[in-house]
Structure 1
C-alpha cells in the first residue's frame, strides 16, 4: 500500500499546473544513440522562473532529438532552441483545461484507491485461508482483518489528501 502512495505522488507530480515544474518532463524519453533514455538522464532540467523550464542537454549533439521528444510527448509546450539550451514557456492554463486536469487527477486517484482495495482483498483472503487451515484462531483472524481495514482506511485517506492538495494547486490562478 505504501508503494501505491509513492506511485501516486510520482504520478501526481507529472500532472501540469500553472507553474513550471521539472517533474512534468519525467515521462519524456529521448532517442540517445539508438536507445530510449529518460530526458532527466541526458539533460539538466531546471525551472529558473515560475513560467519557464530550461532543458540543457549534456551532449549538445542531441539538442534536436530532445526538442522532438518534447514535441512528441504532447505536453502543450512549444520548445525554443537557441543552440545551447531548450526553453519551454509554460502557458497559463484555461479554466476548461484546469477542469480537464482535475478530472484526470480524480480518475488517477480512483485507480490508486482500487489498487489499495485489491491489496486489502488479497490480504483478507490470505488471513481467511490461514484460519480455515487452522494456522490461526478465529480471534486472531478477526484482529488481522480489523488491522488490514485500518491500514486500508489510512492509505485511502492519504490518497484523498494528496488528491485534494493537487486539485487545489491546479485550480489556483
Structure 2
C-alpha cells in the first residue's frame, strides 16, 4: 500500500511541475525567456526548442533578445515565433532577434487570469484522477487480505496528500493572478 501512496505522491508532484511550467510560459507583460519554451524550430533535421539553438536573454523588463549560435537559424527562429500564438512580432537585425512584450491592457489581464484559473482547474482535475486511481488500487488490495481499517487509513493518507497539493495549486494560481494584475 505504501508503494501506491508513494506513486500517487510522485504523480501529483509532476502535476505541480507541469502547472509551474505552463504558468511560466504565459505572457504576463514582462519579458521572460520561458515564454519561448514551447516554441519548436527545425534545426539540423529535428525539432527542438529555441533555447537549444540560441542564447535568450532579457536585458530590459519588456525586451527579449535571441542570439542564435548559428546565424543561419535567424529566419527559422523568426518564422517559428511568428507562427506561434505568442502574439509578438520579432525584429530581426541580421545578428539577433528582439521581441518587445507589449504592456497588458485590462481586458488582456482579465483573459490571462482566466487562462491561469483554467490551468489550475485542469491540474485539480488531474489530481482527482490520480486520487481515484490510487483509491481503486488500495480497494483492490482487499482481495489480498487487507482489512477495512487499513483500506480506510490508506484512503485517508491519499486524501491528505491530495489536500496538500490542492493548497499548493491554489497558492500558485493566486500568486500568478496577483502578478498578472499588478503588472
TM range (shorter): over 0.9
Q: TM-score of the superposition, structure 2-length normalised?
A: 0.91
The offset of 1:31, in angstroms, is: 1.8
Q: What per-residue deviation string (whole Å, max 9, x for no partner) do you get for residues 32-64 of structure 1?
A: 233221111111111111010000101001111
- Displacement of 1:3: 0.6
**Corresponding residue for residue 44 of structure 2:** 33
Match of 1:47 among 54, 58, 61: 58
Task: State the match for 1:169 in structure 2.
Answer: 179
Unaligned ranges ≥5, structure 2: 1-11
- Displacement of 1:74 in angstroms is 2.4
Q: Is the 8 A contact 1:55 1:86 kept in 2?
A: yes
Where has structure 1 moved over 2 Å in runs of 4 or more?
Answer: none
User: Contact 1:105/1:163 (CA < 8 Å) preserved in 2?
Assistant: yes
Q: Which of residues 148, 152, 163 in structure 2 aligns to 1:138?
A: 148
Equivalent-residue separation in structure 2 for 1:69 and 1:160 (angstroms): 33
Aligned-pair RMSD on alpha carbons?
A: 1.0
Shift of 1:78: 1.3
By how many angstroms is 1:172 displaced?
1.1
Match of 2:94 in 1: 83
Alignment partner, residue 160 of structure 1: 170
Q: Secondary structure at the match of 1:120?
A: helix
Shift of 1:138: 1.3
Unaligned runs of 5+ in 1: none
Q: Tell me by how many angstroms 1:153 deviates.
A: 0.3
SS in 2 for 1:11: helix
Q: Give the 5 Å matches for 1:9-158.
A: 9-131=20-142, 133-158=143-168
C-alpha contact 1:16 1:170 (8 A) present in aligned 2: no
Give TM-score scaled by structure 1 length.
0.96
